Structure 1
Amino acid sequence: MTTILVTGGTGTLGSLVAERLRAGGHEVRVLSRHARPYAVDLREGGPGLDEAVAGVDVIVHCASTPRGGDEKAAGHLIEAARRAGVPHLLYISIVGVDRVPLGYYKSKHAVEKLVEESGLGWTVLRTTQFHDLVFQGLQTLARLPVMLLPAGVGDQPVEVAEVADRLAELATGAPAGRVADMGGPEVRTAPDLARAYLRAGRRRRPVVEVRLAGKAYKGMRDGGHLTPERAVGKGTFEEFLARRFPAS
């Protein structure tokens, strides 16, 4: 039986990864700021982190936040993993972190480099945005009388459960380095996704595209965050919406 530590194991992705690994017969430790017995803030490190990684065969690093601190957290995790002699560190990243100059993407790319240079056996998987995140963004935009969307930007949302399946598969294999990207089944325009959201929620809003400035916007307009050649996901955004807005 393999002992696997899942950081961010109470989150949207991490909880599903932990569930799948347990179902596969593995011993799973969940690390997050409030999950006992491994309640650790990775940004702070500390003796609790050494306890969490002791005797672990694989670390699946899902913990992340756009509010900052990912590089510091990864540094603490890698140091603890080295001390414990953990043979495999698996990191989940985002398609386009090296092509779209968003602050959060830059941080994720920096963590990739830390993982690659850690001296540990490592695997990095990049995926496109989850359906959940696209949904949350559209939900926020729909609070206004008009939905304003960035002009010329598409998205390729992927089902988080499928990403969890892939991570569980990688976690039970040997370190593989940078593996093939994983994208959702289709590239959709932002207005198309917005109208799908409005239909599913039985709402009406004008949808207006707005041109933006900046290198990050250009990177997305150029499709830097997409991977159409790796459209391996199966679940569609409409199927996701049907679960969020069940028919009455």
Structure 2
Amino acid sequence: MTSIVVTGGTGTLGRPVVGRLRTAGHEVRVLSRSTPPYAVDLREGGIALDRALEGASTVVHCATSARGGDEQAARSLITAARRAGVEHLVYMSIVGVDRVPYPYYRTKLAVERQIEDSGIGWTVLRATQFHDLLYRLFQGMSASPVMPLPARVKDQPVEVTEVAARLAELAQGAPAGRADDMGGPEVRTFESLARAYLAAAGRRRAVVKIPLRGAAYEAFRAGGHLAPDHAVGTGTFEDYLTKRLAVTGARR
């Protein structure tokens, strides 16, 4: 039985990754900032992180924060992983981090480079945006009677459990370097996705498309965050909405 550490193991992606690995028979240690017995702040590292990594052969790094700190957390994790003799470091990244000059994407790319230069066997999987991200985005945008959307932008959302299955598969194999990108089954306009959300949530809103400025917006508009040649996901946004609203028991 292999010992595998999953950082961010209580998050949207981490939970199904942990479930997949445990079902496959591995001992999985779940790292998060507040969940015992491995409550660890990766930015600080220290004895708690060393204890969590002791004897582990593989680390699946799912922990991330759009509020910052990812590069510091990666440095701490890599240093501790070297001390512990970890053989395989698996990182979850985003399609387009090398093409879209968005601050969070730049951070993800910097972490990729840290992992590549770590001296540890590594695998990086890039995926398009999860359905959950769009759901929360549209939920916030539809709070007012007028729903503003960035003009001429498309997206390719993917089902998180499918990404988790692929990440768990990669974690159980040998270091693979850059794995093939993973995208959702459909490249769709932001407007069509927003209208699907409104219909499923039972909300009537005026949709207004707003042209934006800046290099990041231009890169998104050009499709730098899409992977049409790797549309391997099967779950659609409508599939996700049906499941999400059935679970919540409410039309939101």
How far residue 145 of structure 1 moved from its aligned partner, in angstroms, is: 1.0
Secondary structure in 2 matching 1:93:
strand
Secondary structure in 2 matching 1:12:
coil
Give the corresponding residue for 1:198: 198
CA distance, structure 1, for counterparts of residue 221 and residue 14 of structure 2 = 30
CA distance, structure 2, for counterparts of residue 85 and residue 45 of structure 1 = 16
Map 1:1-40; keep pairs closer than 5 Å.
Answer: 1-40=1-40
Map 1:98-109; keep pairs closer than 5 Å.
Answer: 98-109=98-109
Secondary structure in 1 matching 2:93:
strand
Secondary structure in 1 matching 2:13:
helix
Q: 1:133-184 CA deviation, whole Å, 9 max, x = no partner?
A: 0110000000011110000100000000000100110010000000100000
Secondary structure in 1 matching 2:4:
strand
Give the corresponding residue for 1:70: 70
Secondary structure in 2 matching 1:132:
helix
CA distance, structure 2, for counterparts of residue 29 and residue 201 of structure 1 = 37
Map 1:25-104; keep pairs closer than 5 Å.
Answer: 25-104=25-104
Structure 1: give runs of 5+ residues left out of the alignment: none
How far residue 205 of structure 1 moved from its aligned partner, in angstroms, is: 0.3
1:155 alignment partner AA: D
How far residue 245 of structure 1 moved from its aligned partner, in angstroms, is: 2.2
How far residue 185 of structure 1 moved from its aligned partner, in angstroms, is: 0.2
Map 1:137-156; keep pairs closer than 5 Å.
Answer: 137-156=137-156
Within the alignment, does 1:110 sit opposite 2:110 as a pair?
yes
Give the corresponding residue for 2:185: 185
Within the alignment, does 1:123 sit opposite 2:160 as a pair?
no
2:19 alignment partner AA: E
Percent identity at matched positions? Answer: 65
CA distance, structure 2, for counterparts of residue 43 and residue 219 of structure 1 = 30
Give the corresponding residue for 1:162: 162
Secondary structure in 2 matching 1:245:
helix
CA distance, structure 1, for counterparts of residue 203 and residue 39 of structure 2 = 41
CA distance, structure 1, for counterparts of residue 46 and residue 133 of structure 2 = 31
How far residue 79 of structure 1 moved from its aligned partner, in angstroms, is: 0.1
1:73 alignment partner AA: A
CA distance, structure 1, for counterparts of residue 22 and residue 51 of structure 2 = 20
1:99 alignment partner AA: R
CA distance, structure 2, for counterparts of residue 68 and residue 27 of structure 1 = 30
How far residue 35 of structure 1 moved from its aligned partner, in angstroms, is: 1.2
How far residue 22 of structure 1 moved from its aligned partner, in angstroms, is: 0.4
Give the corresponding residue for 1:229: 229
1:129 alignment partner AA: Q
**TM-score normalised according to structure 1 size:** 0.99
2:68 alignment partner AA: G
Within the alignment, does 1:211 sit opposite 2:211 as a pair?
yes
1:84 alignment partner AA: A
